[in-house]
A and B are shown apart, each in its own frame.
Chain A
Amino acid sequence: MRSLRTITVATLAGILALALAACGSSGNSSSNANNGAGVAQGIKTPKTESLTGGKRGGTLTVLNHEDFEHIDPGAAYFTIDYEAMYATQRSLFSYKPNTFSETTPDLAAAPAQISPDHKTITIQIRHGVHFSPPVNREVTAADAEYALDRAANPNVANPFYLGYVGAIEGMKTAKGGPVAGIKATGRYTLVIKLTEPQAQIALDSLVLPYSAPVPKEYAKKFDESKPSEYGNHQVATGPYMFKADSSGKVLGVGYQPGKSATLVRNPNWSASTDYRPAYLDQIDIQIGGDPAVIGRQVLEGSHSVQNDTPANSIVKLAYEKFRGQLQLTPGGGDHYVALNNSSGPFTNVNLRKAYWAALDREAMNKARGGSLVTNVMTHFNYPEIPGFEEAGGLTGPKVDYNEHPQGDLAVAEKYMKLAGYPSGKYTGSQTLQVVGSTGNPAAEDAQMANETLKKLGFKTKLNLVDQSVMYSKFCGVVTEKIDVCPNVGWVADFGDPQAVLDVPFNGNLIAKNGTNSNWGLVNHPKINAAMEAASKLVGTATRARAWAKIDEELVAEAVAAPYDWDKQPAIESKDVSGVGQQWDIGDWDYTYTSLK
C-alpha cells in the first residue's frame, strides 16, 4: 500500500487532514497553483510565499480550536501535530514549505543511497546536531536507529509503521526492542535492510516525524510505561523545543493538554546545521475556543495565526476585509458521499448514478464556504496531481449525471427507472443507515446529502457522531453495513495518482475485520485489477494515463458521489509574515513564519 495519508473531515472547525505526508519521489511538482486550481486573484498560496528575508525575533501566538493528538514524534500523524513536530524535531528528511514533491535531507547529511536490488538503504547522519537539555549530547546514527525501533513498540502505538516499513527485516515481529534490519553501522551511518524490494516506500516514509532521533538512554524508561510518556518528556533537535523543566519534563510546563503549549528556542540548535531560518523566538499555542471568535482575534489582532481550519464566516470576513491575510492551498483534499458498493441498495450502479445526478454539489460546497475555498468535484483524482487533466480536469468526464453541479432530478429519475423503479422513486422497504460527522460544516453537508436521499424516495436514519468515531467505528467497517457516509474525504501523500485512488477505491485492500479507508467498500474486480497493473508502471506520463483510465472507470461505475475539492484556507494577523506548508494542507510553518 503506497499511501497511508488519510483525511478526516470537519469537527467544529472544518477539515483537518491527517497529514501522513509521503515522500518526495519523482518530479511531478505542480507549477500552476495560482490558476489551474482556481484560487481567486490576489490571494497567496504556499507556493507564492517568500522563504527568505523574514525579521528575526518576537513571539507568535497560535490560536487553535483543536488540541494536538500526539506530541510524541513516534506517534504524531495530524496536521497541527506536524507543525509542532517539524519545528522541534529533525526527521531524517523533510519538506521545505513550498514543495509537495521534493524532500530535503534534514538530519541526514545527504540524499539516501539505495542499493540496486532496492533492498538496502544507507543514510549518512549530519555531524554537529545536538539534543536539547537535559540530554545535550550530539546526535548519532544510533539515535535514529532507536527512533525507528520504537515505532514498533506498542507503547508508542505508531499507527502506520507496518504499512510503510513492514518490509524491514524483523519489523513485523518487533515489540520495541532492536529491529534486525535497522543498524547504526558507524557513528554517523544508518543502514536499513528490507526483505522485499520496497526501498522507495520505506525511504518515502522517513519524512514523517517518527524518524526524528530519540536518545535511548534517556527515553527508555519513558517508553516502558504504557502508554509511553516520552512525548511528555521529549528532547528536541530542531530550532525550537517544547518548554520543559530542568529534568526535561514537558507535560504541565510546555504543554497543558486541551489548554496551551509553548515552544521556545532550543539552546543546542545550531543554524549552521539546518536549512530552516527559524525567525521567531517563541511560539505560544492556545488551544480551544469558538472558531468564529478565534478568527476575529487573528484577523483583527496582532502577531497571531490560526493553524486549524477557520470558520466560514471568518474566511468570508478575511476575503472581504483582510484579503492579504488569507492563504488558500489547493490540493488540500476532497470530500465525497460514500455509497456502500458491497451491500444494500447502492450495490445497484444505476441507483448510485441517480444519487450522483440528484446531489446539489454547489449547495454542499456552499456550506463549506462556497467557491472561494472549494471546487465542485467531478471525478476522483485531484487538481495538481498527474492524470487529473487527462481524466477531464475541473469539469470532469462528460456523462449526464455529472453535468449539472446543482443537481438534476430529471437525470436522476432516468437512472431510477433504469434501476427498476418505474415511478422514479425508490420503493424498497429498507431504511438507509446514514452516518455523518458532527460540527460545522460536516453536519450541514450530511443533512443535505440526507435530504437528497429522501428526494429519491429513500427512507433514511441520519446519525451524526464525532468524526473520529465515524471513521473508527462506522464508515468503512464491513460488519456495520452503513449505507451512506456523506462526510468522508482523503488527502494524498504525494503527487502521484495512485496515492489518491488506491486506498479509497481498491477492493483488494478491504479488511473484513477492521476499519477501512475504502468507506464505500468499493470492490469492482475489473477496477481492482487495473489498479494492480497500474501500480507497477514507471514514469510520470505513463502512470498518469493509466490512472486517468482508472479514474474514468470509477466515474463510469459511479463508485461514490463526489462534491468537493478543497482549497484549504488559513489566516494570519496583518503583522505576521506567514509561510504555509504546501504538503501539510497549508498549515503555517513555525520555522519560516516571521513577524513584520
Chain B
Amino acid sequence: MSIGAAEIFPGGAGGFDVVEASEEIAARSPLQLFWRRLRSDRFALVSLAFIVFLVVLAIAAPLVVKLLGLPGPSVENANLTDSFGSPLGPSSAHPFGVDQLGEDVMSRVIYGTRVSLEIGVVGTGIATLIGVVTGVVAGFYRGWVDTLLSRLVDVMLSVPLLLLGLGLGAACAVRGCLGGAIQPGLGEILFLIAFANWTYIFRIVRGLVLSLREREFVDASRSLGASDARIMFREILPNLVAPVIVYATLLIPLNILLEAALSFLGVGVRPPTASWGQMIAAATPIFNTAWWYMTFPGLALLLTVLAFNLLGDGLQDALNPRTAR
C-alpha cells in the first residue's frame, strides 16, 4: 500500500541523525542508549509484547486452536449455516461466528496471523536486503551507478502498485508466470513487495551513505588501503543497522496492508489458506447480515498494523530523540 509511505519514509536521510559510535559518551554504547529510550516508551513496549504474542500465535496456531476447542481453519460444517446458506453468528462454541462454509472465523483469524507475519517479515526482509545493497552501492559510488539506480527508483515509484498487483495476479493465475518463478498467492505478493518496496529503504540508505562516506573514519580506512567492498560492508554498513531496523519495522505494516488489499481484491492469497484480507473480501457480499465475518479479521488486521506502527514510532523516537513526543 502506497498510502502513507510518503510521510513515513522521507526522501534521503531527511530529518534524523546517524547514531555513530564516536559521537556518544564512551561509557554507554549507542545500543544501550537506544534501548534505554525505548524502554521508557510504554506504547512501543506494549506493541512489542503484542507482536511477540502474534508470533507465538502464528507458530503455535494449531495448538492454540486445539486448546480453545475450535475446529481447524478449513473444517467446513454445513450444519452451521441456516437453510438459506447464511452463516450463524457468534456463540460459545464459535466465539467469532462462522463463514458461509461453516468454517470457524476465530480459527481462521488465528491462522491468518501466519500469512500476515510471513508477508510482513519475509517480504520486508527481501525488500530491505535489496534496498540496503543497492542503497549502499549507489551512495558509495555515486556517479552513473547512483543515477541509474535512482532513476530506476523513480520509475518504480511512478507505477501504481495496486494496479500492478491486480495485473500480476490476473496474469500469473494457476500456473504462475516467468516460467513458474512467480507462483500465484504468496509468491506473487512477495515478488511484488520485493519488486516495489525496496525503493523506500534504498532512498534512506543512499542518503545516509552519501553523508557517511565523507566522514573521517572512511577516509582513514581508505588511506589504510581497504577495498571498496570492505569499506562499504565493514565500515559503513554497521552504522546503518539501527536506522534500517527502524524503517524496516515501519515497512512491515505497509506490506501487511498490501497483502490484505490484494487479497481483498481477489488476487492475493487464495483460499483455503486463511488471510485476513481475503476473509474481508469473502465477507463483503454478506457484510450487512453477517457483521462478525467482516469485523473480526478487520480488527485483527487493524491491531497488528497498529502494533507495528507504534513499535516503529517508538524505535524511531529512540533513535532520534529530537522528534520525540
Contact = CB atoms under 8 A, between A and B. Distances in A.
Direct contact of A and B (CB under 8 A): yes
Given A441-B100, A469-B173, A448 B85 contact: no
Nearest to A319: B84
Contacts of B288: 292-293, 296, 313
Interface stretch (B74-82, B124-132, B146-154, B190-198): B74-82
B282 interface: yes
Contact of B170 (A362, A462, A466): A466
A369 B287 contact: no
Nearest to B266: A438
A371 interface: yes
Interface residues on A, range: 35 or more
A290 B81 contact: no
Interface residue range, chain B = 20 to 34
A271 to B, nearest CB: 42
Contacts of A446: 271
Interface string A54-91: 00000000000000000000000000000000000000
Given A368-B85, A443-B282, A313 B289 contact: yes
Contact of B286 (A312, A360, A433): A312
B105 to A, nearest CB: 14
B14 interface: no
Interface in A363-378: 363, 366-372
B285 A462 contact: no
Nearest to A474: B174
Given A312-B286, A465-B174, A370 B83 contact: yes
A463 B76 contact: no
A450 B273 CA distance: 12
Contacts of A561: none
Contacts of B84: 312-313, 315-316, 319, 366, 369-370, 372
A12 B284 CA distance: 10
Contacts of A311: 285-286
A479 to B, nearest CB: 11
A540 B100 CA distance: 42
B266 A464 contact: yes
Scoring A291, A406, A451, A474 by chain B CB atoms within 10 A of each residue's CB, the highest score goes to A451
B193 to A, nearest CB: 21
B271 A462 contact: yes
A310 to B, nearest CB: 11
Contacts of B237: none
Interface string A443-456: 11011101100000
A342 B282 CA distance: 33
Given A438-B266, A444-B101, A360 B174 contact: no
A316 B76 contact: no
A296 B85 CA distance: 18
A528 interface: no
A5 B183 CA distance: 34
Interface string A504-526: 00000000000000000000000
Given A312-B85, A360-B78, A366-B81, 12 more contacts: A12-B285, A293-B288, A313-B84, A313-B86, A316-B85, A368-B85, A435-B174, A443-B271, A444-B282, A447-B271, A463-B174, A469-B170
26 contacts: A291-B285, A292-B285, A292-B286, A296-B288, A311-B286, A312-B100, A312-B286, A313-B86, A313-B288, A313-B290, A316-B85, A319-B84, A366-B84, A367-B101, A440-B282, A440-B285, A441-B100, A443-B271, A444-B101, A447-B76, A447-B101, A447-B271, A463-B173, A463-B174, A463-B270, A464-B270
Interface of A: 12, 290-293, 296, 311-313, 315-316, 319, 360, 362-363, 366-372, 406, 433, 435, 438, 440-441, 443-444, 446-448, 450-451, 462-466, 469, 474
